[in-house]
Homo-oligomer: A and B are copies of this chain.
Amino acid sequence: MTHVQPNLSFEKPFTTVDIVIFSVQDNKLKVLLVKRPSNASEPYPNQWALVGGFVDVQLDADLEATARRKLFEKTHVKTAYLEQIGSWGNATRDPRGWSTTHVYFSMLAMNHAEQLKSGANAQDVQWFDVVENGVQTALAFDHAHLLAVAIERLRNKVEYTSLPAFLMPTLFTLKELQSTFEAVLARPLERSAFRTRILATDLLEATPHFKTAANRPAQLYQLKSNLQPVYFQRTFNPIK
């Protein structure tokens, strides 16, 4: 199909992508933030912000490509769970003009998150504790709001999916998985019900390995399929 180049010379909004990168370390939910450049001609200089940036129509085939590019730039992680949580756009969120952002959230496995700590530009990229619905730092743009929505969405989804499994290292015990769920949800879960629920799904497989400590060793498990969460559905049941 060929088309004449149309007269679409009206003003276009800026198009950006932001990624809320979650991880659990020391049983605490964390989010990765970057420091904005100190250049005073940039908005919000030196403030912390979500990982993100402009869509590059030359580089990026689609929005997810922008997200993965930004994710890789800051974390050097190529494959991670990535899910879009929505988009926002208005005239005032960016002082440079009408702008839109397509927001994703990502879950980094602990081992990947650990690597980062000792990585390069460590001052500019940092993990922040999630407290309630945000972090205890002012964020650039409307990022505090975007983060709050991401946290809410994450917690909501963890109620009925196996998402936190993506935060685990390769081998882990059921107790460790439960602790991760609890860190995300910010509330304790009942041990027996948790085990039953998780083991009833096709999510994990037991390995021949055990984690030893000053007590009975715990079975080590690993994820079965790698990047799709399991849904615990308890809704209307289909009629037989």
> Which residues on A are within 8 Å of B, measured CB to CB?
1, 3-6, 8, 10-15, 41-43, 54-58, 60-63, 84, 86-91, 95-98, 100, 102, 159-160, 185, 187-190, 193, 232-236, 238-239
Contacts and interface: CB of A to CB of B under 8 A. Distances in A.
Given A6-B42, A102-B100, A95 B1 contact: yes
B13 A12 contact: yes
How many copies of this chain does the complex contain?
2
A215 to B, nearest CB: 23
B13 A57 contact: yes
A235 B232 contact: yes
Contacts of A87: 63, 84, 86-87, 102
B235 A160 contact: yes
Contacts of A6: 41-42, 96
A139 to B, nearest CB: 15
A235 B234 contact: yes
Residue among A15, A42, A54, A89 having the largest count of chain B Cβ atoms under 10 Å = A89
Contacts of A232: 235
Contact of A61 (B42, B88, B91): B91
B88 A236 contact: no
